[in-house]
A and B are shown apart, each in its own frame.
Chain A
């Protein structure tokens, strides 16, 4: 008998439907993954599986645990199951734990006997005795997530529902947590439902994968098969749009448009608006999920017709790495250090260079200092030591520059920030935001493009200038941010994790845009990211940062293929791979 069976799960909210009919099964000891982008309804599904939807939301359908119907049952029935049979692990380690209770006590709350906290912490890899006496705010994100896992497992559940357990963590910590989940699963014989937006993680960790898009289940299958033979255009396009660690493509095949809200696409195929293969039938009714093989199902009406085209395109490297003549230097960073008074400096003697028209990557995890460096380049922070030169002009201290010098600096380098949802003033429309940047550019008697020209440059219609950010999708907002940065016609664009907060299906659009801008107007790029596959795609040279220092540098292909430093190697190995050895416990 299946441990968990879900039939026709529907989640409704006052604004409309969120999940429109989800079926899934979970067998003993199995790991299934629910993969979806934002708005797919995956997190709410996780909550529905333990009967803890936020107030105002309503679930209907059927959820049975070992044959016992839970959905629609009384609260008491749910309470018997929560924690002891089905456990939920939340996404954000920073808000998941009670901030005012010591960690050990929190675990003891649900353990069958007292005094087990130490043992349970050891199970999740925390061996130091004092941790149990700490408050959550005294621990790092990775440790908090481990504590969360220990708490969730304290009642020895049969099923673990893990909602994006590694998303808020660094890529190296991510691997540890996923390894931990795998090892505890094997030791206890648990079944796991893993919710994630990252296909790579799903393929690495799960046996079977369910693909959710805007509330509709589009495809089901084993991880292996889904990875190599997707049966739905969405899965296929998503796989194609993901940058690869191994190769670089001239352009990523991007999926046009943005992820819709579930309510907006009821009544027809959720992906129809963005799909290459859309036909009239796709728009007139919602396709049902149907079996197309052993354990495989698809919701694509046209599968049989198009399956030939769904073979993953040959992803060979199609870009030759050109030999670049030494370019004239736009940016020179020499021995820059910055300290905020903590245990160690944020930046410790960093040196790098970017030439005209170059695409340079800066890779690091959180705490590496990459954002601090970006801020120093733009005068949002001032380095404690070292030198920053922009086209020969010393901008180590922006406050000390004359007005003319600062103007020059601003026309040389601009920045694009990570979070598209706060990068634009919510109270102002697009025209104002870009227009003001243009006004600043013209102030010193310079020339500047018009709002319409800039919008066109980033691929947005001129009519968007009257829109407010709330009417734009994440990808569109990021384009506006790029347009704003370009108003001053800089030679170098610093991009601080510009796609990390975007849906995967949209990331490719922005990456392509940056590559296009580099080609068309010779815009040099310092691309800061933690994602090695992205850095492979957009950069020709790369610097690797760790704890405030540059630990390795060189042409991207060389560094990724043959890393010299331990840390770089660890980073590369932390990228999720479908090989089961990736999750095997570390040998220490």
Chain B
């Protein structure tokens, strides 16, 4: 039950993009076509789940026992950057087809604040799923990260679909490009607010 609550809350109620503003750069940058949005979401899901698992272990088995939690930002970003590089190399070797599809998005993920954001959230925030406030355990953290990545993907794919249609319409000149995209995202965020109170 708790896992279902985590998943619904992360995908719909507290959507990482539309209510927490993490990962807005790729959201506006690579959401012109549905196919690239799908590729980006796939790469983000994979990296976010693995990165959160690794940073979770880093936090509780290294930083906390040694009493050096203030090194969190530095160690997390180094881990994420090297992880992305490693995923790229492994994927290139094992599955060239997948690499072809996701490869170009991988370097962009290092500076996707959603990945670092989720890694920090799971080790610093208390959640109230099913009772008293508590920190997430390892399995819950990975589920939380995956669900957030899926929420990112959902918002991204819906938005890309809208933008593909938007290109066919005539938009006043000052609204062209980013401004109309932002206003559309605002309306989408309004729609997602309808899920508030679900969990």
* A and B physically associate: no
